[in-house]
Amino acid sequence: MMIKLQVIIFIIFSYSAYAAPLPVSSPVPGGIAILLLDTVLSEAGTTPSARLEPPKAFYEGKRVMVIRNEDQWWVLVGLPLDSTPGRHLLKVKRPDDTFAELGFEIQDKPYATQRITLTDQRKVEPEPQDLVRITRESKEIRRALGHWDEQAEIPLNFTLPVAGEPSNSYGFRRIFNDLPRKPHSGMDISAPLGTAVHAPAPGKVIATGDYFFNGNAVFLNHGQGLITVYCHLSRIDVEPGQELQRGDLIGAVGMSGRATGPHLHWGVSLNQAAVDPAWFLQE
C-alpha cells in the first residue's frame, strides 16, 4: 500500500508542478495549434485522480505532444507547411480508453518565393548515384524525426543556437537555378565560418551525419516528438546518445551540403512536421 501511495504522489508532483510558458498558438501552415483538452476529458466523467494520467492525442495518425501545465492538459500540434486551411480534427484517447474528437481551424498564411543560384548543378539535379545516397539518407532522417519518448517536462522556450543574423526565410517557396524545389523548412542564421553552435534547450543527441543536402547535421531530441536539427555544420562536436544542457556546444557554422555561404540551417520538427523555429524563441 505504501508503494502505491508513493507512486501516486510522484505522479501528482511530476505533472501539477510543471508550469513552463507555452508558445503562442499559431494555427497556420508551419505553425503550432495549442488546444486545451480539459473539455473532452470532462465529458468522459473522469475523476481528478484519473485525469492525472496523461491522455494520448493523435493528428493525422501521429502522436502529438500532451503536457500538463498549471493543472490543465494541453496538446501542441505541429502543422505541416502543406496543411490545408479549414477545419481539422484531433483524436483524443481519454484515460478511460474512450475516444473523442476535438476540432480546430487552420488559417491560411502566404509565403514568399525565393530564387537561388547554385554553381553545383548536382545539388539541384542529383545524378543517379546521388539519388541512391539521398534515398538512404532520407530514411535515416525520417527515422530521427519520428523519434518519440514519453517525457512530462518539455523545454518549449528556446534560445538562438548561434550568435548571428536570423532570417525570416522559413516557408519560402524556393527556386534553385530556375527549378522549383521544396519550401524552406527551417530558419537560416548567417554567421562567420566556425562560429560556435549551442543547444537552445536541454536535449539528447539522437543522430549525426554527413548528408547530401543537409551537410554535416545533428538531430537533438527534446521529448514527445519535438526534434531540433542543425545543418551545414563545418564541425560536429557531439555524439549520438549524448545528453546536452542549454548552451552546450553542438558544433560550428559551415557551408557543407547545399549551401551558398556559411550559415546555420536550424530546423524544428513537432510530430514530424517542420514548423517555424521562431514560434519557440524567447523574446
List per-block mean pLDDT (blocks of 10 residues) for the chain, which spans 283 residues.
32 44 90 89 54 83 92 93 95 84 94 88 92 96 94 90 91 87 91 97 97 97 97 98 97 95 96 95 72
Distance of alpha carbon 1 from its chain centroid, rounded?
41
Closest CA to 197 of 240, 239, 254: 254
43 is written with which cell numbers? 465529458
Q: Measured at the alpha carbon of residue 142, what is the angle toward residues 140 and 147, in degrees to the nearest 5?
A: 100
Measured distance CA(51)–CA(72) in Å, rounded: 9
Q: Structure pTM?
A: 0.88
Measured distance CA(191)–CA(164) in Å, rounded: 5
Measured distance CA(214)–CA(195) in Å, rounded: 18
Determine the pLDDT at residue 23: 87
Determine the pLDDT at residue 15: 43
- Is the torsion defined by CA of 267, 268, 274, 276 positive or negative? negative
3-state percent breakdown (helix, strand, coil) of the chain, nearest 5: 15, 40, 45
79, 105 contact by CB (below 8 A):
no
Across the beta sheet with 179-180, the strand order is: 113-116, 173-176, 179-180
128 is written with which cell numbers? 543517379
Q: Which ranges constitute the DSSP H helices of the chain?
A: 2-16, 38-42, 128-145
Phi, psi of 39 (to 5 degrees): -60, -50
73 is written with which cell numbers? 492538459
Determine the pLDDT at residue 178: 85
Q: Based on C-alpha coordinates, what's the Rg of the chain?
A: 20
Q: Measured at the alpha carbon of residue 264, what is the angle toward residues 237 and 172, in degrees to the nearest 5?
A: 150
Q: Any bridge partners for residue 274, and if so which?
A: 269
Measured distance CA(30)–CA(273) in Å, rounded: 8
Determine the pLDDT at residue 243: 97
For 181, half-sphere exposure in the C-beta direction (CA atoms, 13 angstrom radius) is 19
Q: What's the farthest any 2 CA atoms get from each other in the chain?
A: 70
